[in-house]
A and B are shown apart, each in its own frame.
Chain A
Amino acid sequence: MKTSLALIALLLPGAALAQDAQLDPVAPMAEYKLYVAEHTQELVADTRAFTEAVKAGDIDKAKSLFAPTRLHYEMIEPVAELFSDLDVSIDSRADDHEGAEQDPGFTGFHRIEYALWEKNSTEGMAPVADKLMADVEDLAGRIEGLTFPPQVVVGGAAVLMEEVAATKISGEEDRYSHTDLWDFRGNFDGARKIVELFRPHVEDQDFLATVDTNFARVDETLEKYREGEGYQTYDKLTDEDRRVLAAAVNTLAEDLATLRGRVGLD
C-alpha cells in the first residue's frame, strides 16, 4: 500500500502537492474573491444611482441612498483599502486632510455626506459625484485584476475590527449623517465572511466559539436598532449598548489578529 501511494505520488507530483495543508487557503481565498466580486458589482450599481441622485439635485433621494450604497464598500473594505490612492479619494474623512472639510483633496462619499447633511445641498457636488463614480469603477477594475494577497486579506479582517474598535466606534466615520450602524453591519459581515471561509482550517474550537459569541453579541445589539431595511441613527445608541458593542469589537479585533497564524499564513 505504501509503495503504491509513493508511486502515485511520483507519477503525479501535482496531485501529491495539492494535498499539502499549506495550500488549504486556496479554496477559501477563491471563494472570498467571488464574494468580493459580487459586492463590488453591487457597489458599482448603487454608486451609479447615488451619484445620479446627487447630480440631479434630489437631496432626499441621495440621502436615502447614501448608507445602503456604502454598505457594500464596507463589506469589501479589507480589499478596497489595499488601494491606498482610491481609499483616500473614495473614503477619507475630513481630518485626514490638512484643510479638513475645506481641503480640495477631501472628496468621495464623506465629502458628499457633508454637503447633504451639513449644508442640505448638492451645490458644487456634480464633479465630486463624477469623480466618486469614476473611482468606484476604477476600484472594481483593479479588484477584478488583483490576485488577492492571502496574508494581507486574512489579516485585513483583524485590521478592520481594530479600526472599528479604535475609531469608528466613536461615530467618526459618518459624522454628518450618523449612519454608522449601516457601516458597522458591512464591516462585521465582511470580517465574518473571512472567518466563515477559513473556519474548516481552524483547529481551536474554543477560539471559534468565542468569535461566534462576539459576532452574535454584535448582531443582537445592532438588531435592537433596526429600522426598515437599515438602522436608526448612531446617536440613538444607548451608552450601555455602545459599551457592549465596544467590548465585543475589542475582543474580536484581538482574536482575529491571530487568525492569520491559525490558518498557516504568518
Chain B
Amino acid sequence: MTDSHAPRSMTPMLVGAGALAVAGLVAFAWAARTNAPQPVDGALQVAVTETACAPMALTVPAGPASFVIRNDSSRPLEWEILDGVMVVAERENIAPGFTATLTERLKPGTYQITCGLLSNPRGTLTVTATAASEAARTAPPLAEFIGPLSEMQVRLIQAGAALERDAKGLADAIAAGDLGAARTAYATARADWARLGTATARASDLVNRMSPTAAMLAGREGDPGFTGFHRIEYGLWSQGSTEGLEPVARSLAEDAGALRTRLREITLAPADIAGDAARLARHLAEGQVRQGVNLYSGQDAAEFAAALDGLAGAAQVLSPLVTAAAPEAAARVQAEIDRTRTAIDAMTADPSPAARDRVAHGFTALAGALDALNPALGLET
C-alpha cells in the first residue's frame, strides 16, 4: 500500500479545503476512538483494499459483535453491513490507512458487507444463532417492541389526520348543498373512521357523539342524541338532502380533531397491538357485520374493507417479530385476512344474510388467528 496516503479522488476545486478535510478526518478518527462503545472480545479484523474485502466472508455468533475495519485503499471508506438493500450498521469515512471499530448487536441471518467502490464485489457476513438469540426469537425483549409500537402509533395518528381532513371536506360539501359531493365525501370520511376501529374504543365519549346508531337511542332518528355520521347519512340518503346537516357535520369535524389529538396521547402496550385487533374483529363479527352499519346508504362493504385494512395494518406492524417467532401463526393471520377480503369483495349493496354470514365468519376466524400472536411472542394476554 504505497499510495495509501495519496487520495486520487480529490477534485482540484476541493484542494483548498483538502487540508481541513484531512484535519477533520484525524479529529474524527480520534473522536470515534474515544466514543465508540467498548469493542467486545474476539473482534473480527477486516481490511478493505482497492478491489475487495479481506476476508470476503465473516461469521459471528448472534449478539454484540465488533469489527475492526482497516482501510487499505486510497479513498475514504464507508463500510456497511446490509440486510438486502437496508443498512443495518455502518462506519462512515474511514481515512486511507486508518482503522475504525464498529460494534453492533446482530440477529441471526445472512448479511452482505460493502467493500469500497460501488463496483467492488460485496462480502458476506453470517450471523449464527445462539441459545440467547433463540430465546429472544420466541420471547422478544421489550425493546424489540419499540419499533412496532411507534409504527402503530404513526398509523393511527395519520389515519386520525385523514379523518379530520375528510370530515372537514364532508362539512364543506354539505355547506355547498352539493348532495352528490356530500355522499362521496361521506363514504371517504366513513372509511377513515372504520380504519381507526382498533383505537376508537379508547375514546368512547367521542364515539358516542361521532357514530351513535338510531337503534341505540330512545327516540330513534328523531332523538336529539342522534348526531354524527349516521345522522348525516340519514339526511343524505333517506331524506335525499343536505338541509340542516351543516351543524352536525361541523361538530363531527370538530370531534375528529379532538380524536386526532387523543390518538397522539395513547400509550399502547406490546400486547395491545394484536389484542385490540382481535377485539375489533370479534366485535365486527358479532354485531355490525350481521346487523349492518350504514343502514341508509347500504355502503357496508366499503366500511368492512376499511376496517380490515386497519386490522391488516396491526398484523403488518407485528409481522417481522411474529414471522421470526412463529411463522405458521403469521401465515394463518395473512390467510384469514385474504379470506375475509374475498368475502367482503363479494358483498353487494344490499347483501344477503348468507353473504353477511361469510364475512362474519371471516372476522371470527381472523380474531382467532390474532389471538395466537401474543402467546407466540411471549406476551401475556
Asked if residues B150 and A257 are in contact (CB atoms below 8 Å), the reply is no
B244 at the A interface (CB under 8 A) = no
Chain A contact residues: over half helix, strand or loop, or mixed? Answer: helix
Q: In the complex, what distance in Å separates the CA atom of A74 from the CA atom of B154?
A: 22
Say yes or no: A85-B14 contact (C-beta < 8 A), given A167-B21, A167-B76: no
User: CB-CB < 8 A to B271: which residues of A?
Assistant: 13-14, 17
Asked if residues B143 and A92 are in contact (CB atoms below 8 Å), the reply is no
Count of inter-chain pairs, beta carbons less than 8 A: 172
Asked if residues A88 and B154 are in contact (CB atoms below 8 Å), the reply is no
User: CB-CB < 8 A to A49: which residues of B?
Assistant: none
Q: In the complex, what distance in Å separates the CA atom of A215 from the CA atom of B352?
A: 65
Q: Which residue of A lies closest to B93 (CB)?
A: A166
Say yes or no: A33-B92 contact (C-beta < 8 A), given A13-B380, A172-B14, A266-B37: no
Contact with A along B1-36 (1 / 0, CB 8 A): 000000001010110011011011101100110111
Asked if residues B14 and A14 are in contact (CB atoms below 8 Å), the reply is no
B206 at the A interface (CB under 8 A) = no
Q: Which residue of A lies closest to B76 (CB)?
A: A167
Determine the interface band of chain B, counting residues with CB < 8 A from chain A: 35 or more
A229 at the B interface (CB under 8 A) = no
Q: Which residue of B lies closest to A97 (CB)?
A: B118
A71 at the B interface (CB under 8 A) = no
Asked if residues A246 and B24 are in contact (CB atoms below 8 Å), the reply is yes
User: CB-CB < 8 A to A149: which residues of B?
Assistant: 147
Asked if residues B92 and A96 are in contact (CB atoms below 8 Å), the reply is no
The smallest beta-carbon distance between A32 and chain B, in angstroms, is 8
Asked if residues A17 and B92 are in contact (CB atoms below 8 Å), the reply is no
**Partner pick for B150 among A15, A105, A148, CB 8 A cutoff:** A148
The smallest beta-carbon distance between B25 and chain A, in angstroms, is 5
B169 at the A interface (CB under 8 A) = no
Contact with B along A237-266 (1 / 0, CB 8 A): 000001100100010011001100100111
Say yes or no: A159-B21 contact (C-beta < 8 A), given A23-B146, A84-B86, A261-B37: no
Interface centre among B20, B76, B158 (most CB of A within 10 A): B20
Q: In the complex, what distance in Å separates the CA atom of A195 from the CA atom of B272?
A: 28
A57 at the B interface (CB under 8 A) = no
The smallest beta-carbon distance between A231 and chain B, in angstroms, is 17
Asked if residues A162 and B32 are in contact (CB atoms below 8 Å), the reply is yes
Which A residues from 154 to 176 make CB contacts under 8 A with B?
Answer: 159, 162-163, 165-167, 169-172, 175
Asked if residues A257 and B28 are in contact (CB atoms below 8 Å), the reply is no
Interface centre among B23, B93, B145 (most CB of A within 10 A): B93
B320 at the A interface (CB under 8 A) = yes
The smallest beta-carbon distance between B121 and chain A, in angstroms, is 13
User: CB-CB < 8 A to A166: which residues of B?
Assistant: 21, 24-25, 28, 76, 92-93, 95
Q: Which residue of B lies closest to A14 (CB)?
A: B269
Determine the interface band of chain A, counting residues with CB < 8 A from chain B: 35 or more
Which A residues from 85 to 107 make CB contacts under 8 A with B?
Answer: 85-86, 88, 92, 94-98, 105
User: Residues of A at under 8 Å CB distance from B?
Assistant: 13-18, 20, 22-23, 25-27, 29-30, 33-34, 37, 81-86, 88, 92, 94-98, 105, 147-152, 159, 162-163, 165-167, 169-172, 175, 242-243, 246, 250, 253-254, 257-258, 261, 264-266
Given contacts A34-B157, A147-B150, A162-B28, 18 further A-B contacts (CB under 8 A): A14-B275, A18-B269, A26-B150, A30-B150, A33-B154, A81-B87, A84-B87, A97-B118, A98-B119, A148-B150, A166-B95, A169-B20, A175-B14, A243-B20, A246-B27, A250-B28, A253-B31, A265-B143
User: Residues of B at under 8 Å CB distance from A?
Assistant: 9, 11, 13-14, 17-18, 20-21, 23-25, 27-28, 31-32, 34-37, 75-76, 80, 82, 85-90, 92-93, 95, 105, 114, 117-119, 142-143, 145-151, 153-154, 157-158, 267-272, 275, 317, 320, 380-381
Please, could you name 13 A-B residue pairs with CB atoms under 8 Å apart, sorted by A? Answer: A13-B381, A25-B146, A30-B150, A81-B87, A83-B86, A147-B147, A147-B151, A148-B150, A150-B146, A163-B92, A166-B25, A175-B14, A258-B35
